Amino acid sequence: MAQNERAVVADIMTTPLETVAPDVPLVEAAGTMREKEIGALLVTTAPPSIVTSTDVLDAVAQGKDTADLDVADVMTESVETVPPELSLNETAAMMENFRIDHLPVVEDDYIGMVSSSDITAHLS
């Protein structure tokens, strides 16, 4: 078995997990993603949600004034999650199946984020 086939989410996930409140202005959240060089933030809702750079881009493409939007206006609610011990191959298949690019990593609590680009970089 090749080394890449044994790799798990914990090997490549981004930590610490960056979070944002749902009432934060979208422009501020986008600035945080840019500053931290990440593509998604976990939104502190119950259950947790996610806001991604694609959500911001979609709002712009729809002609929305992002200066008037909060994170809650564009976030995806009730997101899929993965455990840190899940294999990267299984995680990649899950992302492809659900057509998503970011998954929060959960082990008792939210501990990190894994992206499709992280997986692609590791597996290539």
CATH number 3.10.580.10 given to 3-123? yes
pLDDT in tens, 34-45: 999 999 999 999
- Decide if 120 contacts 14 (C-beta within 8 A): no
Q: Where are the domains of the chain?
A: 3-123
What's the number of CA atoms in the CB half-sphere (13 Å) around residue 39? 14
Q: Which pLDDT does position 5 carry in this prediction?
A: 57
Mean pLDDT of 55-82: 95
Q: Which pLDDT does position 1 carry in this prediction?
A: 40
**33-45 per-residue burial string, b: 16 or more CB within 10 A, e: under 16:** beeeebbbbbbeb
